[in-house]
Amino acid sequence: MYTTYFGFKEKPFSIAPDPRYLYMSELHREALAHLLYGISSDGCFILLTGDVGTGKTTVCRCLLEQLPDNTDVALIVNPRLTDLELLETICDELEIALPEGERSAKFYIDNLNRYLLDAHARGRNTALLIDEAQNLSLDLLEQLRLLTNLETHRKKLLKIVLLGQSELRQLLENSGADQISQRITSRYHLLPLERTDVFAYIRHRLAVAGEREKIFSEAAISRIYELTHGIPRLTNVVCDRALLGAYVEGRYLVTTSVVDQAAREVLGNVRGRGVRRDKMSLFRTLSMALLLFIFGAGAATFYFSRYIPAELVSQSWGDIVKKIK
């Protein structure tokens, strides 16, 4: 609707994972480096976690594009499976030809082991990537741990990459997941974008879409950062609605007022989101002032008590003043 109005070739803030709009911040590059190192090393489990919308899927797509040509990958995007369904899905993803027979856990593991040994003999590596891994049960995690026992005398035959929300870290801290945690050789927690990265992120997407003149004011982008806290997915949603709002109002510049209205429509409580940090800062300031006041009052009381005669201490303030006069 607004693409022609602003002179765009297409919508710049679609949440679809278009590689042309990929912006890799320093944090994303670090996360990608951890994954690539983990897969190329002799480890078992590689872990990438982050809050919703921080870009884990973006990093995963970059990983798939940069893996060596001799790497075969099985990708599972919905891990809400039973043990047998998990093993069957891995075999399907690796295109393992399964013979006739009873489909038991032993059946799948035996065929997977033969496949991995053959791949190793041909100089190929195999990796299993599991997205939304916070949905894995402890039983499935244990099944994955058992798969890392498939090995030669020198090398693990299967690398497992777990990508999930912050809850995944809590799951792995469970006492039932101790053996898995001990096998994780690379961990990285992806944080939201910094303020400077949000500026670069928005400018990059606008440029790819064909921006000819500045559309978002500096203040508007700062406000977007305050509202979204640097989460790329929320940034896309707010920017898209802000462009629509500017178009409806006949504006060619997105201002803070347009951003606030857009945020109210897509995020809900703008006041709660936008001023949360300011409230926390004000609370800390008031708390510190109160502590200083209490300390000062106590110090003053101690100081003056050294010079006020003892017989005056028990008297009222009015009586003390009269006697001093």
- Specify whether 160 is located in the same domain as 255: no
- Give the model's pLDDT for residue 217: 96
Domain boundary among 135, 164, 190: 190
Rounded-to-integer distance, Cα 239 and Cα 254, Å: 9
- Give the model's pLDDT for residue 177: 86
Range of the domain at 202: 3-17+194-274
- Specify whether 149 is located in the same domain as 262: no
Regions of the chain where pLDDT drops below 50: 271-285, 287, 299-300, 302-304, 307-308, 310, 312-314, 316-317, 320-321, 323-325
**Treating both helix axes as pointing N-terminal to C-terminal, what angle do 218-228 and 195-209 enclose, rounded to 10 degrees?**
120
Query: What does DSSP assign to residue 195?
Result: H
- Give the model's pLDDT for residue 281: 42
CATH number of the domain enclosing 127: 3.40.50.300
What pTM did the predictor assign? 0.77
| HEC per residue, 119-153 | HHHCCCEEEEEECCHHHCCHHHHHHHHHHCCCECC
- Residue 67: CB partners within 8 Å, gap ≥ 6? 36, 39, 73, 127
- Specify whether 247 is located in the same domain as 127: no
- Give the model's pLDDT for residue 296: 55
- Specify whether 255 is located in the same domain as 294: no
Domain boundary among 190, 217, 241: 190
- Give the model's pLDDT for residue 57: 86
Amino acid in position 244: L
